[in-house]
Structure 1
Amino acid sequence: MVTYTGEVKPGGPAHTRELGSLTITKVAVDEQMSNNCYLLTCKHTGEAVLIDAAADSGTLLSLIGSTPVTHVVTTHQHWDHHRALSDVVEATGAATVAGVPDSAPITEQTGVPITIEVGDGDTVPVGTCTLSVIAIAGHTPGSIALLYDDPEGHPHLFTGDSLFPGGVGNTQGDAGRFPQLIGDVSAKIFDRLPDDTWFYPGHGNDSTLGAERPHLDEWRERGW
């Protein structure tokens, strides 16, 4: 492990960030798609949650090791975010979590039942820590973000493919989906959370809401 910067590459080392009660470990998988996967571990109980078993089950299971993973959360239904779901669930026995509108498509694509369907305001435990679910429609109907509001520091937000440094997720030029996505991101994330919120996307580097907030109008104007 190396000091956390959030800049990870497939085949490279994982990066770990130590919070007061939670450890966040980020690893990238698959040279083509470069998906980010996040292992969140409670320092009090040792229990963990994996966000997006995207690919390369060997990498993920090596990262997990003997850590008891209680839940695997899939942020949305797109194929590149759940290719290792079956292997990870089989190895860990973890419960599976996804947004209600995306749960059936995830099961259809992976053969893995979603045992906990979530929506806005639901929670996912990480030992004694808690992730709050934020439903963000637009990239997919059931995309979710996960908020850890660190009582000893600033908030940490795992955004899947709904928010990146530089813009919201891809809506394939759909005239209806982009307004839905930018509206949800604006109202449920930027309007509610402070500038020092650090967010962790499904691909690429991290950012803060403060760094991205000045560009919201620009994103709306360009339409993507």
Structure 2
Amino acid sequence: MTGVERVVTSGTFSLDGGTWEVENNVWIVGDDQEVVVIDAAHDARAILDAVAGRRIKAVVCTHAHNDHINAAAGLVEATGATVRLHPDDDVLWKMEYGEKLGYAPLADGEALTVGGVRLEVLHTPGHAPGAVCLYAPDLGAVFTGDTLFQGGPGATGRSYSSFGTIIESIRERLLSLPEATVVHTGHGADTSIGAEAPHLDEWIARGH
């Protein structure tokens, strides 16, 4: 059976000299044989338990803030899976891993297929330079990482982020998706494109 599973993991996010306690959504997409893990956060063992012996076709990073990638090494060590990341986030990746762990580059417009599900890569910079969202038209869902949440865009107050850029990414790449598209976020509750689209002007006013 093809589907989407969520694992919530806890840990810390660190950047610009600060550290914050966070809970992350780890998304597992696929079928009974193979899966893609979206955002390997904090706890490799919890993720592996949820994968339950299925083949991990790839560990896909929506961006390279440490709280979204810090369990990637454990998954690679346990399974040999390939990590996929947009190369514009290389500077953030190296903050966590230096040269110890490599990745295969993700490209805008690329399509990944797992368990019969097509995941289309949408480059959506702003929260981070290499941020991507993964649109699954067959599931009527998009995995947005920290680009779009219930209630607005991801944070842009730290290094390598831009409010104007994230707004453009959301407007051009996400709000053009069907209104019924479910938004699976990097933290917190799901939402939908239709629920968030009417509030774009509010976010812009708030951001300035």
Q: TM-score, normalised by structure 2?
A: 0.88
State the match for 2:182 in structure 1.
Answer: 198
Alignment check: 8 A CA contact 1:155 1:196 kept: yes
CA distance in 2, matches of 1:168, 1:108: 24
Q: Once the 2 structures are TM-superposed, how far is the Cα of residue 62 of structure 1 from its aligned partner?
A: 1.0
Aligned equivalent of 2:84: 97
Matched, 1:138 2:130: no
Aligned counterparts of 2:50 and 2:201: Cα–Cα separation in 1: 39
> Hey, what's the Cα distance between the residues in 2 that align with 1:126 and 1:103?
25
Counterpart AA for 2:128: T
* Aligned equivalents of 1:52, 1:135: Cα separation in 2: 15
**What pairs with 1:108-127 in structure 2 (closer than 5 Å)?**
108-110=95-97, 111-114=100-103, 116-127=104-115
Unmatched segments (≥5 aa) in structure 2: 12-20
Q: What is the aligned-residue RMSD (CA, Å)?
A: 1.8
**TM alignment of 1:65-104, pairs within 5 A:** 65-103=52-90
Task: Single out whichever of 57-66 and 102-111 deviates more from structure 2.
Answer: 102-111
After the TM superposition, which parts of structure 1 deviate over 3 Å for at least 4 consecutive aligned residues? none
Deviations along 1:96-122, one digit per CA (max 9) or x if unpaired, are 1011201453245123200x2112201
| CA distance, structure 2, for counterparts of residue 105 and residue 80 of structure 1 | 11
**Structure 1: 5+ residue runs without aligned partners?**
1-20
Give the drift of 1:185.
0.6
Aligned residues with identical type, % of pairs: 35
The residue identity in structure 1 corresponding to 2:141 is H
**Which amino acid in the other structure matches residue 38 of structure 1?**
W
Alignment match, 2:14: none
Checking the alignment, whether the CA contact within 8 Å between 1:107 and 1:113 is kept in structure 2 is no
Structure 1-normalised TM-score? Answer: 0.82
Q: Give the paired residue count.
A: 196
